[in-house]
Structure 1
Amino acid sequence: MGPTNMSYLNPKTVTLIGIPGLEHVQFWIGFPFFGMFLVALLGNIFLLIIISTERSLHQPMYIFLAVLAATDLGLCIAIGPKMLAIFWLGSCLMAFDACLTQLFFIHALQGLESGILLAMAFDRYVAICDPLRHTSILTPFFLVRVVLMVAIRATVLVGILPILLKRLHLFHSVVIVHSYCEHMAVVKLAAEDVHINKSFGLFVAFAILGFDMIFVFISYVLIFQAVFSLSQKEARVKAFSTCTAHIIVFLEFYILAFFSFFSHRFGHVPPYAHILLSTLYLLVPPALNPIVYGVKTKEIRRQVARIFILKPDMQQ
């Protein structure tokens, strides 16, 4: 079947409209998003510098935290510049291949972040439930293997999404009702059978986010059992305090992720609300993670204090 007046055959470009219904205020909405973008960039860069330069932080938990910070930086770079160009400059056109590339990096980095959160939960589980074997289990070789495994998993599974989209040729529209190229937003443009695309998208979401969330939950159930079985109150408080930052980050990531995911596919949320939520889901965790770990982690607080408080004293 050839293209009709209302269809597009093998489009070269797409148009991102930003936030539907709020186009008249997108310029001003860009400023709080830019603030989160800036906080995320500076916070995660600062976190990477502290962890890489301080030898006392070369431990499994902080190595995973450094990978998480690098992942958050990648997410910010993947979404922020184009989104702000749409809001502030009206630069809505995007090459179709560039759109698929952005889609891949956004979803692959989400998958990598989920895997790193699972690895951090496992680290806390071993540290609290089997502390004597923590060093022998979480060896440098084991850490490298874990990071490689979650990176390969995300790359392979998410990499199939743009390949499946590339096989589609006929589209009923080239206008993406979103502020970035998201998988389902692109799938909805197709004028062909997209059951495979939708089904595989669901599979990827549950194979990565669903799998990781279940095992993170199990890890923390076992951790809480071990913590509450401790006889001394001080020991329970100390053990629990080492997990609070991870729990906060875990909750913010998965609650926003699944609310955005299900509202897009099964809910009746207004488009502007869904797009605001899904954009916040990508920008809020990268902005909050360095703050949460900076406030809740004593070793990082100490390094920040050395840089900003003790340095002037050393110069006197």
Structure 2
Amino acid sequence: MEILNQTSGSGFILLGLSDIPHLQIIFFVLFLIMYLIMLSGNVLLIIVVRINRKLQTPMYFFLSNLSMIDIGFSSTIVPKILINTLSKDKSISLVGCALQMYLHMALGAAECIILAVMAYDRFAAICRPLHYQTIINKKMCICLASVAWGMGFGAASIHTPLTFQLPFCKSHHVNHFFCEMPPFFKLSCKDTRLNEIFMYVAAQIIILFAFFLTLISYIRIISTILKTISSQGRDKAFSTCASHLTVVSIYYGAIIFIYLKPPTAQSPEIDKVISIIYTAVTPMLNPIIYSMRNKDVKDTIIFKLCRRPLK
């Protein structure tokens, strides 16, 4: 810890996305728009679920959890990106960086698991409709959501201290726009192989398990749809499943690319682009893809905004 205090006590410099002035303005506007859409969409979904009793179901309970995770996930990173994009001072304190890494890791892992839980919920509803109320009851909902949050914060509680025990002797300049584990390993003058092994093992346990559970659930859902639903209902169900699968595949794909590729394959510029996808893009898309096309959600929004009675 003495080495840590000497080498990184003053904090770090986040190099950000670009040093070209007109590109900085473009990036600022893009991130601001994505953040405002994400914030308004997820807050609106949480409010709609709270005020419409029709939506107080397991599916929307998990969606509300996803919205809370997305709000925290993006808010941990994007406001700092917005400040650093236009500011000459791109520094972040040691404590601020550690807190950002901890929350980013915790909420990112929790999102992986909650997406898998949501896929399992849809599997139970479509493939086991007669037993759905027994399988996904209130107690099970709370238990599954608690597992998602608990595993996320548990993993972050291990990896963040391990990362910040490293002596960062090479540089204080982080070639990234937020504090994430892989770029920090390059700053250490100590052998980081043990940290990298721990990171890969945790990523495989959480990310790959969640991804395969999600994939298997949707395969079973599609198989059931093909067997039991009419052609008209089949098209609608396929459209819904395809949109869900697209968003989760983008999210899981980006996370897997960052945390499961070999160190020799790392490219800072590509990594920064991929990181944007799961820190800003998918949290913005989630409420739109998962809920805004639902009639009950749209009717509730219209009722609140226009004071029209619900049909």
Could you tell me the TM-score, scaled by structure 1's length? 0.89
SS of 1:229's equivalent in the other structure is helix
Q: How does 1:1-316 map to 2 (within 5 A)?
A: 9-19=7-17, 22=20, 25-230=23-228, 232-237=230-235, 239-240=237-238, 243-261=241-259, 265-267=263-265, 269=267, 271-309=268-306, 311=307
Tell whether the 8 Å contact from 1:17 to 1:176 is kept in structure 2 after alignment.
yes
Unaligned runs of 5+ in 1: none
Tell whether the 8 Å contact from 2:115 to 2:248 is kept in structure 1 after alignment.
yes
Partners of 1:24 and 1:186 in 2: how far apart? 28
Tell whether the 8 Å contact from 1:20 to 1:178 is kept in structure 2 after alignment.
no
Partners of 1:43 and 1:172 in 2: how far apart? 42
SS of 2:189's equivalent in the other structure is coil
CA-based RMSD: 2.4
Distance 1:276 1:57, change over 3 A: same
SS of 2:92's equivalent in the other structure is strand
Partners of 1:168 and 1:52 in 2: how far apart? 45
Partners of 1:298 and 1:246 in 2: how far apart? 17
Distance 1:19 1:235, change over 3 A: closer
Unaligned runs of 5+ in 2: none
Partners of 2:176 and 2:283 in 1: how far apart? 20
Partners of 1:296 and 1:231 in 2: how far apart? 20
Partners of 1:10 and 1:36 in 2: how far apart? 32
For residues 3-46 of structure 1, give each alpha carbon's deviation from its aligned partner in whole angstroms, at most 9, with x where no partner exists.
8xxxx635331111112565773233111111101111111111
Of residues 131-140 and 62-71 in structure 1, the stretch that sits farther from structure 2 once superposed is 131-140
Percentage of identical aligned residues: 27
Distance 1:161 1:214, change over 3 A: same
Tell whether the 8 Å contact from 1:61 to 1:120 is kept in structure 2 after alignment.
yes
Tell whether the 8 Å contact from 1:20 to 1:272 is kept in structure 2 after alignment.
no
Of residues 140-149 and 226-235 in structure 1, the stretch that sits farther from structure 2 once superposed is 226-235
Deviation at 1:274, TM superposition (A): 2.5
Residue type at the aligned position of 1:129? C
Partners of 1:92 and 1:100 in 2: how far apart? 16
Could you tell me the TM-score, scaled by structure 2's length? 0.90
- Equivalent pairs counted in the alignment come to 307
Partners of 2:62 and 2:79 in 1: how far apart? 26
For residues 77-108 of structure 1, give each alpha carbon's deviation from its aligned partner in whole angstroms, at most 9, with x where no partner exists.
10012111110122311111221110010111
For residues 234-274 of structure 1, give each alpha carbon's deviation from its aligned partner in whole angstroms, at most 9, with x where no partner exists.
453454455344323312312332334456845364x3333
Partners of 2:164 and 2:271 in 1: how far apart? 25
Tell whether the 8 Å contact from 1:108 to 1:155 is kept in structure 2 after alignment.
yes
**Structure 1: 4+ residue segments shifted above 6 A:** none
